[in-house]
Copies of this chain bind each other. A is one copy, B any other.
């Protein structure tokens, strides 16, 4: 967790304060349930709630842990100091540390997922707005980094919207994967605790009881969670790369907003670098790197080993904090992105005519030329444009094989950018549910 790539709400989820507060709630609710079914006296359950508004002394807990080398026991000892050691003697009864640790971790992850989902909503909103703003702003579409056919800047935003909408659905699934709790005892048999306790605690804390656990909640759930974050991060990278490309000096169809006072380069003051999206590219790598250890965490020995723990101590906070920051940063980039429609047209017209090559190809085959011959005709004229800067339309009109199949008027007719945008409405309808315009 790096301060410069962190936002306070997500960081707070992972603070010791939050963690111990959740531990407390699990223990207190568990006591309530145990009292309810007659396992422990009601007064002991009630006594635990004395700590409800007490701030736990983290330094003290750490001090105890240095002796016991066991974090849950350290916490329980401190809790007993607050509640009274006699009153507290049924706390944690029949439970195992992981009942607390795993349930608490999943609560932290679900809260983190909620923040990420809210981030995603903001990002979707920004993408939707920019998509409509630039819906019909034509630019060249590129495959392999090479000019292909016209598209619109709005379609770029729209497809990123669609991708992030899928990302949101995936995040929701991922949240459901880890929204379970377990209070099932040392090996998951409820030997010393009743399933009702688990049910009560989960109900109070917004979780579903894990159908069958061991000492721990099964880690395939967490693997799925972190794998999903990795996919979301890759989609962030996808958008980031697009913007970095659009901001290249030679392309410059869009640019990250550059605030007054911001310095681009210590040596070249004019430079406006796409540093936010470059940064997002790196952050995506950081989120993704948690996927493999999360997968390696699944195969625990028998009813559990603790190899997963150190991994989760790091990737739990780091991955959610980084992804939260990245989503917010991306939203800000999208929101303020400076788009240059003139530059888009300049680039599109760079090889005037060439973007229409496929239409010519099509027109030739429709007028009876074989696909192979049509391809050869278009290619030889295209190459003259490419290599000597010739005018594509002029070359076509000067090629007798072409003019045998197409009149000059038919050739000229192909220069029509609206031809390429005629289905933009359809696509916006598909993505945003927009009612197609009535013209």
Contacts and interface: CB of A to CB of B under 8 A. Distances in A.
Contact of A372 (B85, B224, B282): B85
A10 interface: no
A90 interface: yes
Contact of A286 (B80, B89, B247, B314): B314
A332 interface: no
Given A282-B307, A286-B314, A289-B292, A299 B227 contact: no
Contact of A238 (B298, B347, B420, B423): B298
Contacts of A247: 145-146
B278 A382 contact: no
B293 A285 contact: yes
A275 B98 CA distance: 14
B150 A189 contact: yes
Number of copies: 4
A294 to B, nearest CB: 9
Given A227-B228, A250-B350, A289-B292, A302 B220 contact: no
Contacts of A318: 314
A300 interface: yes
Contacts of A96: 265-267
Interface string A150-187: 11000100110011001100100100010000000111
B281 A307 contact: yes
Contacts of A85: 370-372
A398 interface: no
B238 A300 contact: yes
A191 interface: yes
Contacts of A290: 289
Contacts of A97: 265-267
Contacts of A202: none
A148 B94 CA distance: 13
Given A261-B68, A423-B190, A89 B159 contact: no
Query: Residue among A267, A362, A375, A426 with the most chain B CB within 10 A?
Result: A267
28 contacts: A68-B261, A69-B259, A69-B262, A70-B262, A70-B266, A76-B371, A89-B371, A143-B302, A143-B303, A145-B302, A149-B191, A149-B268, A155-B188, A155-B212, A166-B224, A189-B423, A189-B424, A191-B358, A227-B228, A227-B230, A231-B298, A238-B299, A269-B382, A270-B378, A278-B306, A281-B299, A282-B310, A291-B295
Interface in A295-315: 295-311, 313-315
Given A145-B249, A279-B307, A295-B288, A211 B430 contact: yes
A220 B234 contact: yes
